[in-house]
Structures are given as structure tokens and as C-alpha cells.
Amino acid sequence: MRKIVKRKDGSKPWNADARAMVGSRLIELLLQTTYIQPPCDQLADTPSERRPAFVHTSRTVSYENKKGAKKYGVIQCDPLVLKGLEKTVSNPVIFYSSSDN
């Protein structure tokens, strides 16, 4: 493991396509396997059922200077998950770098 971390294992860096495929699969697994079940006493007027912690949706963004619009995929987390993140993480913004480092 140390050799892999230090890049001394002889493996070549992944290209952008490989990273995108692995990232897509990891997001897919996250969506398929993460659920939450609110405590019974938290939502008194609704039943406490297990539900997805994250949901994949899409949004359409239209541009003022250009004709048409573009559709983007969005991962939304359940409000209860977001509330928990806000309590435990000082800055819940996740930065993404697309450079080939």
C-alpha cells in the first residue's frame, strides 16, 4: 500500500476517462446503498420509513447570452443528512479538481 501511495508500484496514472468511470461507479454505489431512517420521535405526524440518503435528479440551466439550455445531473442529499452534515462539518463545501495531477 505504501508503494501505491508513493507511486512507486509501477502502475501508470489513470487517464480522465478511467477516473470518470470509477467516479461514476462510486456515485452509483453510494446512491444504491445509503439509506436513512429518521427516529420515530423526530417526525411525529409521518411514519418513520427507510429512505434514500441521496437522490439523483437533473436540472436544466438556460443561458442568457446563448440559445437553448443544458441539462445537468445533480446529487441531492436528504434534508436530514444535510442537517447532520451541518452539525458535524465546519465547512460542508466539497472541492473538486479536474487536473491530471
* pLDDT tens string 4-18: 666 666 677 888 999
Whether the per-residue pLDDT at 42 is higher than 60: the answer is no
Q: Is there a contact between 52 and 35 (Cβ–Cβ < 8 Å)?
A: yes
More confident of the two residues 84 and 39: 84
Reported pTM: 0.58
Q: Is there a contact between 31 and 55 (Cβ–Cβ < 8 Å)?
A: yes
Mean pLDDT, residues 70-77: 89
Distance CA 91, CA 18 (A): 29
More confident of the two residues 68 and 5: 68
Distance CA 74, CA 58 (A): 5
Whether the per-residue pLDDT at 68 is higher than 50: the answer is yes
Whether the per-residue pLDDT at 44 is higher than 60: the answer is no
Q: How far is CA 55 from CA 9, 27, 79, in A?
A: 37, 10, 11
Band of residue 65 on the pLDDT scale cut at 50, 70, 90: confident
Q: Is 13 left (phi over 0), alpha (psi -120 to 50) or beta?
A: beta
- Give the phi and the psi of residue 76 in degrees, each rounded to 5: -110, 140
